[in-house]
Structure 1
Amino acid sequence: MIYHVVPSSVWHSASAEPYAPASLAEEGFVHCSPDEATTLAVVNAFYRDAPRPLLVLALDETRLTARVAWEAAAPAPPPGVSGDTLFPHVFGPLDRDAVDHVLEVRWDGEGRASELGGAG
């Protein structure tokens, strides 16, 4: 599995189409994370002010039709993530049938992403 963070309202806004976030047009790829722990670090570094609820798509990499490349974070990984960690970048829209399951970010009392749980 690889993981992609998306606000619930964005994910559900065009449910019949492959999902193409702004990063695909702006950077040429969709940002993903290699595991749940790294995903939480990404959320805490970049998504604390994103609209909630915040979802995490667990993607079966073998069901994606776009190319996936594992690359180093640039310029650096988020705090708490090793500099050796490679991140999966998807060079095309995310096929909805590649979504194995959807998780929801759970927040602690200090506003930090603390765990991922079943989306309800």
Structure 2
Amino acid sequence: MTIYHIALRADWAAATAATAAGANAGEYRVSTRGRSLEEQGFIHASTTVQVAGVANAFYADLAAEDLVVLVIDTDRLTAELKYDPVPGAAEPFPHIYGPLNVDAVVGLAELGRDAEGRYTFEG
């Protein structure tokens, strides 16, 4: 199964650079914009249909070029994955309860913008 995590492009680049240098044991530790895994307790993720809503709610002020969507293969995760209810959301959101191992990220996707400037996502 595939889930997604919206990342600041600079945060993802730092994680992959550290991994290449042999540091951090190949881990990404950002929960969401401005919050670490240690602060939040888990890493926020989304299903395909949830990505655009999250982008518009929390990243609307950023340029699409500043963001990247991590494509995560849940079978490769080394941390526990739970689907938690979120107040006001129709469906539970996937949360990764531990560091995201870089090798679970099987691709990168981009966010688009519609004519009104709202983020879109095709998956």
- Percent of aligned positions with the same letter in both sequences? 39
- Among residues 18, 43, 52, which one is paired with 1:40 in the alignment? 52
Structure 1 unmatched ranges of 5 or more = 78-82
> What displacement does 1:71 show?
0.7
Structure 2 unmatched ranges of 5 or more = 20-25
Match of 1:80 in 2: none
Alignment check: 8 A CA contact 2:64 2:112 kept:
no
Report runs of 4+ in structure 1 exceeding 6 Å deviation. none
TM-score, length basis structure 2: 0.79
> What displacement does 1:47 show?
1.2
Match of 1:11 in 2: 12
Secondary structure of 2:39's counterpart equals: helix
Give the length in aligned residue pairs.
109
Q: RMSD of the alignment, in Å?
A: 1.7
> What displacement does 1:9 show?
1.4
Q: How far apart are the structure 2 equivalents of 1:90 and 1:115?
A: 21
